[in-house]
Amino acid sequence: MMGVAVLGSTGSVGESTLDVLARHPGRFQVVALAAHRNAKKLAAQVLRFQPAYAALADESAVAELITLLGDKAPATRVLAGTGALEEIARASEVHCVMAAIVGAAGLQSTLAAARAGKRLLLANKESLVMAGPLLITAVNEGGATLLPIDSEHNAIFQCLPPGSRAGVRPAGITRILLTASGGPFRDTPVEALDTVTPEAACAHPNWVMGRKISVDSATLMNKGLELIEACLLFGLSPAEVTILLHPQSIVHSLVEYVDGSVLAQLGAPDMRTPIAHALAWPERIDSGVEFLNLLKAGRLDFRAPDTEKFRCLALAQAAAYAGGSHPVLLNAANEVAVQAFLERRLNFPGIAAVIEAVVQRGSGGPLGGLDDVLAADAEGRTRARERIVGMPRNASVKGAHA
């Protein structure tokens, strides 16, 4: 039986993972559950799965978790702090780690799982964007197995030749085509974006996701981060990754080969499909996902993205080409700007404006190790906060309620 740790268990990917695991109780055992600070939801999960470990990164929320559990989970050891996530990732009972913590907060535990030689199910794209070469090295040196969970990268992985390895260019490939739904503002006039609300940005037309990634999808930054991620996962240059808007979210990505063949992975827009694939790889198991009905879908549309309208995508593409600390600065500034937008301190176009200002002012130097990554991340966050404070009043989203 495979012991599984779900880091980020209270988020949308974590909940989908637990749904798949619950369908196969004879094959998987939930060994550890971890979240940031949602003690109430984590307690409910612990009571259901009775894991050996439960952890909250925010130490201030642990007392609530302990109170909620009472004596109903006697075999569960409660841990606290960011170091607890790394401890769980290295635990001998854990064979597989779902890395589903959003943002830079998931980097250290992801690296710990890679160094410990685990089967690493990577849903935390920021780990690759920030420290891709370090993570790939840790995977190879630790003997880990890295399996992508993003629907697009998992689709690409399913279309690759057998034996493909993380960070190594697969034989015979000419390019990868990453698909994007275009988000809720795909057809919104650019002049109307000044007043869109966080609620509208989080109302994704196809996927059920957390607030941060929903905003990233609305700005197309999510696709930009995925481009950087794809280059690192599959050993490609940015020029070999093409982005296509595909409103139906049925073709999850495509791989083009030198002989003219194009392989695609299709399926309903449900994260349980890539999760089930990675959990059981190289086998296939039931995911609980509704089977795709192409007759019902009716049509599949594709078009190029508008990078003038969605500046975040253009900024991410530029960072992918620049390399060094540019992707780290990009990601850090984006996390701060998205949070400001969700808190109505910044309007929607202001997200791209903040990121552009930070990346332009950043040092952009090479990354020699994890300390350099963390320093660039801190620089990006500081500059982004300074930029937001200094922005004019018309960059506020206060008027977006109308």
Q: pLDDT tens across 61-94, in order?
A: 999 999 999 999 999 999 999 899 999 999 999 9
Task: State yes or no: pLDDT of 46 exceeds 80.
Answer: yes
Of the residues 267, 299, 316, which one is the last residue of a structural domain? Answer: 316
Query: Are 275 and 345 found together in one domain?
Result: no
Comparing 22-26, 55-59, 123-127, 253-257, the range with the smallest average pLDDT is 123-127
pLDDT at 394: 55
Average pLDDT of the residues in 392-400? 50
Task: State yes or no: pLDDT of 133 exceeds 50.
Answer: yes
Query: Are 117 and 188 found together in one domain?
Result: no
Residue of 92, 91, 96 whose CA lies nearest to 27: 96
Token readout for 321 is 């080409």
Query: Are 154 and 216 found together in one domain?
Result: yes
Query: Are 95 and 38 found together in one domain?
Result: yes
Task: State yes or no: pLDDT of 16 exceeds 70.
Answer: yes
Please state the domain count of the chain: 3
Query: Are 256 and 200 found together in one domain?
Result: yes
Query: Are 145 and 157 found together in one domain?
Result: no
38 within domain boundaries: yes
Task: State yes or no: pLDDT of 288 exceeds 80.
Answer: yes
The span from the CA of 283 to the CA of 143, in Å, is 20
Q: How many CB atoms within 10 Å of residue 391?
A: 18
Of the residues 316, 341, 369, which one is the last residue of a structural domain? Answer: 316
231 within domain boundaries: yes
pLDDT at 209: 80
Rounded alpha-carbon distances, angstroms, from residue 75 to 46, 81, 226: 10, 20, 39
Task: State yes or no: pLDDT of 111 exceeds 90.
Answer: yes
Query: Are 265 and 255 found together in one domain?
Result: yes
- Reported as a pLDDT band with limits 50, 70 and 90, residue 17 is very high
The span from the CA of 289 to the CA of 110, in Å, is 27
Q: Name residue 303's beta-bridge partners.
A: 245
Domain coverage including residue 379: 323-390
Please, are residues 57 and 37 in contact by the beta-carbon 8 Å criterion? Answer: yes
Query: Are 141 and 216 found together in one domain?
Result: no
Q: Name residue 47's beta-bridge partners.
A: none
Query: Are 11 and 154 found together in one domain?
Result: no
Query: Are 208 and 276 found together in one domain?
Result: yes
271 Cβ contact list (under 8 Å, min separation 6): 12, 13, 16, 149, 151, 207
Task: State yes or no: pLDDT of 402 exceeds 60.
Answer: no
Q: Chain-wide mean pLDDT for the chain? A: 93
- Reported as a pLDDT band with limits 50, 70 and 90, residue 395 is low
241 within domain boundaries: yes
Average pLDDT of the residues in 169-176? 96
**pTM: predicted TM-score of the whole model, two decimal places:** 0.92
Please, are residues 111 and 131 in contact by the beta-carbon 8 Å criterion? Answer: yes
User: Which pLDDT tens digit goes with each residue over 227-262?
Assistant: 999 999 999 999 999 999 999 999 999 999 999 999
Task: State yes or no: pLDDT of 396 exceeds 60.
Answer: no
Average pLDDT of the residues in 28-48? 97
Of the residues 89, 124, 149, which one is the last residue of a structural domain? Answer: 149
238 Cβ contact list (under 8 Å, min separation 6): 227, 228, 231, 317, 320, 321
396 within domain boundaries: no
- Reported as a pLDDT band with limits 50, 70 and 90, residue 393 is low
Read off the CATH number of the domain in which 35 is found: 3.40.50.720
